[in-house]
Amino acid sequence: MAVGVLALQGSYNEHIAALRRIGVKGVEIKKPEQLRGVDSLIIPGGESTTMAKLAELHNLFPALREFVGSGNPVWGTCAGLIFLANKAVGQKTGGQELVGGLDCTVHRNFFGSQLQSFEIELVVPKLAEKEGGTNTCRGVFIRAPAILEVGPNVEVIADLPVSSDQPKVVLPAIDGQEEREFTDDKVIVAIKQGNLLATAFHPELTSDSRWHRYFMAMVEEAKQEATPSEALVKYDVYANDEDVNAIGKRHLDLPIFE
């Protein structure tokens, strides 16, 4: 079965191209009924408020929550991370609707405006352990969020030191806790919880395919854990041999940054 990529706004074409490079077929998801044709989903980066408004317009939130709640593998990058978080701070007036599922608190725009976007080498031994290569990967942060807190069942894959000139961030009073200032010396930028994966940065904008392979390994693991009756109605996530052979002969139509 193909991997769904939420295609309301943002870098969904880049994710589909990244999947194609590793021999996986990605399909655009724009309507609730299209989720029935996939068993995994990528929610791309983009403008989270705009994506939320479009998802609400197309009545996607109930279907997305059901998809996540059913245990299907889902990966959110940047805005997709915000979508998957149970709690979000630093939002625009009125906030935005969330899909939820990840036991974490995310700051919508922790690193600042578009002008504060940056690239940095992230230390990710877990990625190297699973997919080989070096212990670092290139993190492309574009008006990016950050994860401030995680629950006990959340695995931290990568974090990042907080700059000394980082503006003060206040965590609102939630669940009986008093309002307080965030004072940690680092923020989390990649996590995994069960079949949910989230990154605050954009792996689809680099030539490093390990994050997409890592997610596909999660998909394969989820398929193997499915009951026989469930497995009968699922197709192979990988493209056929003809598609894979064509990838090597076709010039990629999207810019990939080394």
Count of CB atoms within 10 A of residue 245's CB?
12
Burial zone of 33 (CB within 10 Å; 0-12 exposed, 13-18 middle, 19+ buried): exposed
Catalytic residue among 78, 131, 137, 212: 78
Report the sign of the C-alpha dihedral through residues 210, 214, 86, 69, in that order.
Answer: positive
d(CA 43, CA 84): 9
Q: Which residues belong to the annotated binding site?
A: 46-48, 108, 142-143
pLDDT digits (tens, 9 = 90+) for 143-196: 999 999 999 999 999 999 987 777 677 776 666 666 777 777 899 999 999 999
> Which of 26-35, 102-111, 121-130 shows the lowest per-residue confidence on average (mean pLDDT)?
102-111
Q: Which residues belong to the annotated binding site for L-glutamine?
A: 46-48, 108, 142-143
Overall CATH class of domain 3-249: alpha beta
What DSSP character marks residue 179? P
Count of CB atoms within 10 A of residue 209's CB?
19
Among residues 190, 192, 123, 186, the alpha carbon closest in space to that of 160 is found at 186
d(CA 20, CA 42): 14
Q: According to the model, what pLDDT value does residue 254 have?
A: 45
202 is catalytic: yes
Question: At 95, is the pLDDT very low, low, confident or very high (cuts 50, 70, 90)?
Answer: low
137 is catalytic: no
Among residues 95, 94, 97, the alpha carbon closest in space to that of 57 is found at 97
204 is catalytic: yes
Answer whether 0.85 is exceeded by the pTM.
no
